[in-house]
Amino acid sequence: MKAGVCGICGRMGRAVLDVLLQRGHSLACAFDSSSSAYYGKDAGALVSDKLGVIVSPVNDDVEKCSCVIDFSSPDASMELLAAAVRHKTPVVIGTTGFSDEQKTEIEKASKVIPLVFSPNMAVGVNLLFKLTETAAAVLGDDFDVEILEIHHRLKKDAPSGTAKRLADIVKEHMNGMAGARAVTGRNGLTGERESAEIGIMALRGGDAVGEHTVYFIGEGERIELTIRSTKRDTDAKGAVVAAEVLNGRPAGFYSMYDVLGL
């Protein structure tokens, strides 16, 4: 597979490049912002090798790619999406922090190109999504739901895209929670907790790769579903597998459930 990586100089971009090369694929294009220390240089410098691909802003080199894997920023993702649609190039999007309008644009693009969009592509996290579906459907609104996520101090958005997706899953599958209000902080005299609310709390510090816990708290019992990620390459590997699966697929909006057969 001739792959492209958007956001290649970031932590996830580097991890994706490593996995791509380990799995025998080649790099066809490398995108990042002009503020990157590697901008204008051979992307191979990121892995102590020479690859013959220069780190550039998003451009029509997407035409050279079997698929582009994106871990950048919402604005960069939108630029990539426009170029991918022009050239009918499949895209895997792992970027988070999109507005509702940008999410709508992603859905529109999936009518033209095959596209995987997920806030987290690790196998374990997607299993957590599935388990959360089951728990939400079985337990019902007798249980209060709280979500806690922990990430490294450099993460720019909060709550994480994974935490937001977990909240959406609860809304979709738990009786009476479709219109639940997201609460991202509590301070002072907040009054009693409402039944139709989901607490989503974000912790930031050190080099924590990512941890998510969904709490189902009832009268006399509490269920906790937790995933702790200790390496970035779990997410990167999932993204590369998603790119491999998109090969030959028709245009459409695919999830990691489709990739993993969940």
Q: What does the pLDDT read at residue 8?
A: 97
Q: What is the CATH number of the domain that holds 168?
A: 3.30.360.10
Return the CA Rg of the chain: 19
CA distances (Å), 186 to each of 189, 211, 222, 230, 242, in order? 9, 21, 21, 29, 38
Count of the separate structural domains present in the chain: 2
Range of the domain at 52: 2-117+232-260
Is the per-residue pLDDT at 6 higher than 90? yes
Answer yes or no: do 6 and 99 share one domain.
yes
Rounded Cα distance between 258 and 235, Å, is: 16
Say how many Å lie between the first and final Cα of the chain, rounded.
24
Mean pLDDT across the chain, nearest whole number? 95
Q: What is the mean pLDDT of residues 50-79?
A: 97
Active site residues: 151, 155
* pTM (predicted TM-score): 0.80
Answer yes or no: do 211 and 145 share one domain.
yes
Which amino acid is present at 257? Answer: Y
